[in-house]
Structure 1
Amino acid sequence: MKKVRCAIYTRKSSEEGLEQDFNSLHAQREACAAYVLSQASEGWSAMQGEYDDGGLSGGTLERPALQRLLADIAAGRIDIVVVYKVDRLTRSLLDFARLVEAFDKAGVSFVSVTQSFNTTTSMGRLTLNMLLSFAQFEREVTAERIRDKIAASKARGMWMGGNPPLGYRPDGRTLAIVDEHADLVRQIFMRYLDLGNVRLVASDLVERGIAAPQRAALTGRTTGGGPFSRGQIYKLLSNPIYVGEIHHRGQIHAGMHQAIIDRATWDGVQQLLADNLQGERTGARVQSPSLLAGRIVDPDGEPLVAVHASKNGKGTSEGEKVRYRYYVSRALHHEPDAAPAGGIRIPAPELEAAVIQAVVEALDDPLTLLTKAGLPLESERLRQMLRKAEALACAVRARQRDAISSIITKVIVEPQALAIELSLSALCDSLGIENPAANPEPVHLTVPVRLTKTGRAVRLIQRDGRAVTAGSPDPGLVELLRKGRAWWVQLQTGTIDIATISREEQVNDSWVSRLVRLNFLAPALVEAILAGTQPATLTATSLRTADLPIAWNDQMAMFGI
């Protein structure tokens, strides 16, 4: 027969009488021992150790003997806990539920000798489940009361505790502004609007030597003192506390505290965060990163923000999104209606292509570049420098972010040119040559392109009239050629006419006729479209609306070739 190890637990609330030779604890132990002895036929046996708590309330579980009992249960030394009455174990229904949960986890049963309460039997387990149901009900009612109190307090704009966000300190049931930290919060919001990228904001803070302020948490633990992480910046930028609001379960309430960030700045940051939700990523998955984010400015020195829009692409399958990237004046991006007339919106691939081409050309002739910077060249290290310049040019041509961000410090978009500033220190480090200047001036490059307004965007036009392209064809132009070719093939079969195509495509006859005529477009224009080198005047709109001459030379002259 298996031996069943029984632990007897006793407790007395007051210390009165404990000094007697035979007290309440002894009486409880004798009654429990007698009950264990009556179950000897079942293999029950009382353990030698004593678990007695004298002069301790049953309203808490922090009792020495009870804690030793629980430790022995967890260690697997006990099979059954025997008590005189249930209230000897605890007077709290919630504590009783916790104890029974610990007993069940260790496979330990529980017996009350004067109340016929025995979890080793089916009736005892039924009684236990009933008690636990009431305990669960009490817990849920208590939780509901707490939730309702918190919701009511937050609806009134109260601060309900916890560690306050950076820029605030607790002030009763509200928050008070910490001026020094609030200024830092405003800087971070404005830098994010300027750079449009949390990673760049984190790097900018590190470069400027700005660390997260040290603060003491409610637990006494000190936080801060190191650089801001991207997670910290994301959390800070999305915290509605800074705009004077308290959010709770989808509800927005006006807070009793003073806002640090104005509404226009807050809305601009939230829109940019939403736009970037699936935007710029790092690593192998990046397909179209904004390589020059944080480095583009207009002639007045105002930053151009890297943004993007995802739309259904022309010529793509239904529902497929195409990501269009731009560098946009901050005022034009956040307040289009109030933006100045000179606001800039440049397609990012074109601008990046022009800058990368200029830098690569400069690196292809590093001797001229370094001579222009006033650096003396050592003949014995010339061969090594040329190899490193070639490697750097390849890295820039391959659009490697680290190479580009290390040497390009600023790009100024001027009406008739792009002014590029290269870091002389980074250039010297990359080429393996010594920089003699303590505070070197940047190296300046100029790209002679003019800005031409096309719709909402600004295009970059080279001296020969061709638009700067990113090396890929315009999907809108390619789609027009594709449709025109497909409809022409259908018409040649003789089984369909223009009217039928119009009905099936739900367009008018004139539209079909204009696209079919593109099959007679000059081969040189078709090749330019497919190579992405067409003149700036050749757009999807101009090609759709133009009255094409029959002669190919006349067509090319029409578009400036």
Structure 2
Amino acid sequence: MERELFDRAQRLLRHNTPPKIARLKTTAEMQLTGRVFDDRGNPMSPVISKRRGHGYRYYVSAALLTGRKHQVGSLARFPAPALEELVADRLSRLEELHDREGDLADRIRRIEVSRDTVRVDLAWDPAPALLPRFGRLLPAEDRAECDVDGLRLTIAALLQPRGGVKLALGPEGLPAVQRVKQDPTLVQALVRAEAWKHVLFTQGSDSLERLHTAEGVDRSYARRLTRLAFLSPALKRAVLEGVALPDLTLQNLMVGYLPLAWAEQEATYRLPRARAL
């Protein structure tokens, strides 16, 4: 297990703080006000819709608000919490590359939303040497492009209803914002499996018999747990970084079918495709 992965997982946990673009309760305080547009150029105004005593915040196309439905873009309204969280997540990923005073959120010039993408234009011209690092910090489906006006982020995000609310999902059907939430039981099991694999490789196959006796577990459990050490590097990284993969649980790994080929493992546990570096 690479030390770098453990260190990176800890850094992600430390930086998993509330986004700089806060989720506020009044339209006057909504920090993206005046910078959100639909994909036909209509400004999207902050609106609070109250239902059953609860307030729900949206950015709504001005064309819809003024009765010009035929001029509305491909998305008439976007839930404000989802948009604010999505933008804050992507900017937080790039903050370490930002070498100027102030936050990246202060450099937002324009946000354009459509049915399946969110484009964020920033008044920031990063050094060319930094551009290759963008690919390692952003999800594989996102793009970062520079022009004379600055930097444009194109975020793949499709609104879909989940659990009574609309979430921004990526092309793989997973949340566009991946929250860092390590499963300590799974992490401990993976570390234990790596240690047992080392014993097997250095002391021979009969060492498994000694292991399950010394650890106080039955032979079947020891064999099933050791399988975790043969996960693909990308799946191990997902476990350590707390990437939310619904099927990647200790229960599934212990009792489910685990292909030998890494590509098949990643398909089985729905790991999003990696960005080519």
The TM-score, its normalising length taken from structure 1, stands at 0.22
Pick 1 or 2: higher relative contact order, CA cutoff 8 A, min separation 6.
Answer: 2
The TM-score, its normalising length taken from structure 2, stands at 0.41
